């Protein structure tokens, strides 16, 4: 293979991908069989199989038991708007995670006390093993799961206070900044880092994805006078959403 030349399976996958993208192979069309790919492109069975694996890993096709491999419906990405702005009167978890004023949705959550693992402890500036309140959220829009979130708050800050449980008590369901303010902890900064990775099996099951699908992960942390008081991982399917930030100009 000369410098810069692609392996045969990637060239075959690339041509099939082009046909899917330009509509020559529309959604719900059966992908050419392994034998057909072998004959049409003059490649081995191994190359044909690897090309199909690439398309499956990219989420462009899906296997149907006993039927074959078919082109998947390609969703039109929707915008997930995010901003540091919080409206007067407090923000619900859904509004906190999607700053678009037109967004409407529902959420489910459950909280439990855990010992902080190394990564979470580092993000919160505490020692591994210290107790945290872990809350897991499932967000839905029009009944469809659109986003998952897991948050951690150090019980050193919220323990034995009215806001220890994010979804219970007088401020249950309000945003982090509003809840913290109720115990005289003033949130003055929030950071978000966005990355991408293959979705975990349990994430893809909840989000309706297939193995190999990529998810966007927003790692968010709230600070009060430089101290982390909450950190969270927000997970959204990369093929269905684009992250849009609204940044104020000072």
Q: Which two tokens stand for residue 110?
A: 């459950």
- Confidence (pLDDT) at 208: 86
Residue 93: pLDDT band with limits 50, 70, 90: low
Name the DSSP class of 26: -
Class of domain 78-245: alpha beta
CATH 3.40.1410.10 range(s) for the chain read: 78-245
pTM, 2 dp? 0.76
Task: Cite the residue boundaries of each domain of the chain with CATH code 1.10.10.10.
Answer: 8-71
What's the sign of the alpha-carbon dihedral 164, 168, 169, 171?
positive
- pLDDT tier, 190 (very low <50, low <70, confident <90, very high otherwise): very high
pLDDT at 68: 86
- Determine the topology of domain 8-71 in CATH: Arc Repressor Mutant, subunit A (1.10.10)
Look at residue 85 and tell me whether its pLDDT is greater than 60: no
| Average pLDDT of the residues of the chain | 87
Nearest to 246 by CA among 88, 46, 79, 25: 79
In whole angstroms, give the CA distance from residue 160 to residue 113: 13
- Cα 2 from Cα 4, distance rounded (Å): 6
The tokens describing 145, both together, are 């799961």
């Amino acid at each position: 293979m000369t410098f810069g030349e692609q392996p045969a399976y990637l060239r075959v996958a690339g041509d099939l991908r082009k046909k899917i993208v330009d509509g020559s192979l529309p959604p719900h069309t059966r992908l050419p069989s392994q034998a057909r790919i072998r004959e049409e492109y003059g490649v081995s069975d191994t190359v044909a199989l690897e090309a199909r694996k690439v398309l499956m890993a990219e989420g462009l096709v899906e296997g149907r038991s006993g039927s074959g491999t078919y082109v998947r419906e390609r969703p039109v990405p929707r915008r997930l708007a995010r901003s540091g702005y919080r409206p007067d009167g407090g923000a619900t978890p859904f509004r906190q995670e999607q700053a678009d004023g037109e967004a409407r949705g529902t959420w489910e959550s459950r909280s439990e006390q855990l010992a902080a693992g190394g990564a979470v402890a580092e993000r919160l500036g505490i020692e591994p093993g210290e107790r945290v309140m872990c809350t897991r959220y499932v967000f839905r829009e029009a009944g469809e799961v659109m986003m998952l979130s897991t948050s951690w708050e150090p019980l050193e800050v919220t323990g034995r206070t009215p806001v220890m449980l994010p979804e219970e008590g007088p401020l249950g369901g309000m945003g982090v900044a509003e809840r913290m303010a109720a115990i005289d902890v003033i949130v003055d900064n929030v950071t978000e880092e966005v990355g991408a990775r293959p979705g975990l099996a349990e994430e893809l099951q909840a989000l309706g994805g297939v193995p190999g699908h990529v998810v966007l992960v927003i790692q968010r942390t709230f600070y009060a006078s430089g101290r982390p008081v909450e950190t969270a991982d927000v997970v959204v399917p990369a093929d269905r959403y684009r992250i849009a930030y609204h940044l104020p100009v000072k």
